Structure 1
Amino acid sequence: MLRFKSRARAAGVFLAAWSTFFSAVAAGNAFAAPSIHFINDFQVAPGVYYREFVLHSSHGQAYGHLLVANLSNPHVTIDLLHSGAVSERATVSQMADAEGAVGGINADFFDISEGRRHPVEAAGATVGPAIANGEVIKGAVPRGQRFGPALPPGTSTQDVIAVGTDNVARLERLTLFGTVSTPNGKYSLRALNQYALPVNGIGAFTSRWGSASRARAVCGTDYQRSDSCTDRTFEVTVRGGKVTGIHDSPDYGPIAPGTVVLVGREQGAEQLRQLRPGDHVQVTSGLASADHVPLRFAAGGFPIVRDGQPLQGLDDHVPAIRTSAGYGDGGHTFYMLALDGSKVDRPGLTIKELAEVMTLLGADGAVDLDGGGSSTLVVRDPNSDKVTVRNHPSHGAERMVPEGIGVFANE
């Protein structure tokens, strides 16, 4: 368990709007208690607040940064930050400024490096599903292909933190569905803009993928990311519903809007190999939510808090710099948290401790996001039109990442 040290607040008092907001949506939770010491706070925009805090864990002192968004305010929304392509990366501050967010954090774990595992370049794409402004961007890679800490029991790479079209946050599980209809038969679509295809599967790549090589998609297996790449592959380009190109192996380069590139491995490759230029092919795809709720935003992350309680089986041994997102008040309050990581005396939190912190902050549900050098929280100062990095990234500067979570305040 965490041990929190209460210290006197810095000079000054909380903003009246801040106090009113939290007494309304979080009465009785950690914000009213002295267990977490907040040392800085301000209103970023109406309905959006920033706070800095310090706490003591079993591994030493930790410093954290928190963004809180009141989703009951119709002008406050949450959405995906990205560079427009799944395989492209930018800093969180670059993405936030480009998209007009008033704050944000980094999001899902991603294919950051292949090292010596495979003779291909890292794709740079994230592990889990993604939805931006209601548009399905990508699906989830197989469990054995993921990056990040071990998944807790009962969780999946398909798990996301999401906000529906009702502007209510929730934990969801998004399953890819789709078909590839050809003159030779109808096949299941097993992947969408993913750095890894299921064994024997067919995956689709759209203009949302970017220009990165698709070769990584046929490496590893559903059970082990480091397994070798298969040479049983085939690629088909479909434009306007017709096959316009075929290749024996996955290619690279930008994909034009309206064009779909199909990549198959093992059995999926043999199914695609039957196609010829001019054949009619129809590809459909989507993400099905477990609760059948239309979603405006979703980002991959594994659950650490559900129904206001930390999940069973969370690691309580390895501290690290962490990022988390969660929600409280029936999904009407959204939390974004990142830890400082620039000093050797700030080892961070275990995943179990992170879950405990999120519950103390008022979260009913929360996910763990990419941490370490990726952990970043940015906020737009009240008198500026650009965001500033509020935490201290582990390597002294922001890491370029494929996705973030942004908060928008459209007055």
Structure 2
Amino acid sequence: MTHRQRQGRAGRTALTLAAVLGTLAGAALVGAAPAGAVSSRVTLAPGVAYERFDIRAARGVTRAHVISVDLRKPGVRLDLLYPGKVASRSTVSAMADAAGAVAGVNGDFFNISETQHPGVEATGASVGPAIAQGRVLKGAVPNGQRFGPALPPGTSTEDVIGVGVDRRARLDALALDGSIRTPVGRLPLGGLNQYALPEGSIGAFTSDWGSASRVRATCGTDTDRAAPCSTDTYEVTVRRNKVVSMSDIPGGGPIAAGTTVLVGREEGARQLRKFFTGEPVKVVRRLVASASRVPYRFALGGYPVLRGGRPLPGLDATISAVRTAVGVADGGRRLLLLAVDGSPAYRSGLTIAEVASTMRELGSVDAFSLDGGGSSALVARAPGASGVTVRNNPSAGAERPVPNGIGVFVTR
């Protein structure tokens, strides 16, 4: 057994986020913190608290920062932080302040670079599905097109952490279900506002996408992100349910409200070449959950590391890094947002296996890994402050712009 302790006036007293600490396999909560490591807990708002503490992990002591969120408290909710467009990035602190969040962490992995495709720009768009305020923003790229560490066995880019309209958080998977309807039939929709489309498919891009070039969507294959871009592409612009223009090369720039741009590669491109100006076209799409029938108000991608109180098999126990994760406790009524400190004194970080163990010890039954390294950022607004501050010292010395995050909101 291991214990987190706080120095009190009369000595050390137990400091816990869980009622009773469990046994860790790997990471252990430190009883005697190193110099300068002072455990602390601050209530940010009713139902929302910030805490920091130290963990003795495989490669040394690292510092954890945790936001606990009680969704049972009236007015407390979670939602997606994002810059307003899928293919765009901003810092967590800027997104939190713009949205009026009391706290937040960074979110999904994303299309951060394109060294394998000269002349093709990175879009900055996230890997997995995303829902904000109940509105579907995007679907998941193919597994082989993912940026980030290898996925644990049995997981995919469709995995999400989300909160339903029932105010309960849960792990799930969201698959895109959509079609392109024309007078002569229907075509399957293979993507929605995604930086990578499945081979042979047609993807839809809406005003939620942003200004980034859509060329990247036709690069790579379902199993190899670095594979060359397709040479067989076609693009059709649909406005108010009618075809208005076509192009052999995917374009870029803002997409107006009421307009959908269809991008096809290989067989998808061949199907789009049959379209003609003025043809009636209707695009329908939704995200279908694999586990829950409750509609999601908020969801974003990453990958599960803990289910039903058990770490997923095959979690990496060798590579330590700065991490961000979210845990679900109390039947989805309580969440724990964790980010590891990136300062030189604590940068040794955690392995993914240690993330799962740490989240379980904090009381999580399910846990979900988000983007880490230079992307890890946890922000919180102190009572009475006008804005949030970054609590975990980003590893690059400053916040990295990211595509999305989890925001904690309190309506007073």
Shorter chain as denominator, the TM-score bin is: over 0.9
Q: Does 1:182 align with 2:190?
A: no
Give the corresponding residue for 2:105: 105
Deviations 1:67-121 (A, max 9, x none): 0100111210010000110011110000000001000000000000011334300
The residue matched to 2:50 in structure 1 has which SS?
strand
Within 5 Å, give how 1:313-352 maps onto structure 2. 313-343=314-344, 346-352=347-353
1:262 maps to 262
CA contact (8 A) 1:328 1:364 kept: yes
Offset of 1:203 from its aligned partner?
Answer: 0.3
When normalised by structure 1's length, the TM-score is 0.93
How far apart, CA to CA, are the structure 2 residues paired with 1:8 and 1:406? Answer: 28
Tell me, yes or no, if the aligned pair for 1:4 and 1:57 is still in contact at 8 Å: no
Counterparts of 1:237-386 in structure 2, within 5 Å, are 237-290=237-290, 291-343=292-344, 346-386=347-387
Provide Cα deviations, 1:216-235, integer angstroms capped at 9, x if missing partner.
Answer: 00000000100000010000
Q: Which residue of 21, 27, 31 corresponds with 2:19?
A: 27
What are the within-5 Å matches in structure 2 for residues 109-128 of structure 1? 109-128=109-128
Closer/same/farther in 2, CA of residues 381 and 273 from structure 1, 3 Å limit: same
Mapped to 2, the partners of 1:75 and 1:11 lie a distance apart of 35
C-alpha separation between the residues in 2 aligned to 1:11 and 1:154? 49
Name the aligned partner's letter for residue 204 of structure 2. A
Unaligned runs of 5+ in 1: none
Query: Is the 2:82–2:403 Cα contact (8 Å) retained in structure 1?
Result: yes
Aligned to 1:224, what secondary structure does the other structure show? coil
User: Quick check: 1:194–1:217 contact (8 Å CA) kept in 2?
Assistant: yes
- Displacement, 1:5? 6.9
| In structure 2, C-alpha distance between the alignment counterparts of 1:96 and 1:11, rounded to whole Å | 36
Deviation, 1:12, is: 9.4
Quote the Cα distance in structure 2 between the aligned partners of 1:363 and 1:357: 9
Deviation at residue 184 of structure 1 after TM alignment? 3.7
TM-superposed CA distance for 1:326, in Å, is 1.6
CA distance 1:386–1:12, shift in 2 (3 Å): farther
- Over 3 Å counting, the alpha-carbon distance change for 1:379 and 1:345 in structure 2 is closer
1:192 and 2:192 aligned: yes
Q: In 1, Cα distance between the equivalents of 2:195 and 2:53? A: 37
Question: Using the alignment, how far apart are the partners of 2:126 and 2:145 within structure 1?
Answer: 11
Distance 1:344 1:141 in 2: 36
Gaps of 5+ in 2: 32-37
Q: Residue 163 of structure 2: SS of its match in structure 1?
A: strand
Matched, 1:136 2:128: no
Structure 1 equivalent of residue 34 of structure 2: none
Q: Which residue of 1 aligns with 2:394?
A: 393
Q: Distance in 1 between matches of 2:68 and 2:112?
A: 29
Gap change, CA 1:13 and 1:327, over 3 Å in 2: farther
- Contact 1:118 1:219 survives alignment (8 Å): no
Deviation at 1:55, TM superposition (A): 1.1
In the TM superposition, residue 36 of structure 1 has moved relative to its aligned partner by 5.0
- Partner Cα separation in structure 1 for residue 42 and residue 4 of structure 2: 20
Match in the other structure for 2:35: none
Q: Write the letter of the residue equivalent to 1:191.
A: G
What secondary structure does 2:87 align onto?
coil
Q: Which amino acid aligns with 1:288?
A: V
The 1:219/1:13 distance shift into structure 2, 3 A limit, reads farther
Cα contact 1:242–1:277 (8 A) shared by 2: yes
Q: What is the 5 A alignment of 1:38-117?
A: 39-117=39-117
In 1, Cα distance between equivalents of 2:86 and 2:9: 45
Change (3 A) 1:113 1:232: same
Q: Deviation per CA, 1:251-297, whole angstroms, max 9, x where unpaired?
A: 00000111100000000000001111111100000100112221100
Q: Does the residue aligned with 2:216 lie in a helix, a strand or coil?
A: helix
Take 2:371 and 2:353, find their aligned partners in 1: how far apart are those partners? 15
Give the superposition deviation at 1:185: 2.5
Task: Name the SS for the 1:9 alignment partner.
Answer: strand
Is the partner of 2:86 in helix, strand or coil? coil
Q: CA deviation at 1:346?
A: 2.6
2:324/2:376 contact within 8 Å kept: yes
Q: Secondary structure at the match of 2:276?
A: coil
Distance 2:152 2:397 in 1: 31
Letter of the 1:62 partner, please give it.
T
Counterpart amino acid of residue 294 in structure 1: P
Following the alignment from structure 2 to structure 1, what is the Cα–Cα distance between the partners of residues 411 and 10? 29
Q: Distance in 2 between matches of 1:13 and 1:127?
A: 47
Query: In 1, are the aligned partners of 2:105 and 2:379 still within 8 Å (CA)?
Result: yes
Q: Distance in 1 between matches of 2:373 and 2:9?
A: 32
Please name the residue that 2:172 is paired with. Answer: 172
CA distance in 2, matches of 1:319, 1:124: 25
My pick for the range that moved more, 113-122 or 369-378, is 113-122
Counterpart amino acid of residue 329 in structure 2: G
Which residue identity is paired with 1:80?
L
Secondary structure (helix, strand or coil) at the match of 2:293 reads: coil
Which ranges of 4 or more aligned residues in structure 1 deviate by more than 6 Å? none
User: Residue 385 of structure 1: CA displacement?
Assistant: 2.1
Instruction: Give the partner amino acid of 1:123.
Output: T
1:398 deviates by 0.3
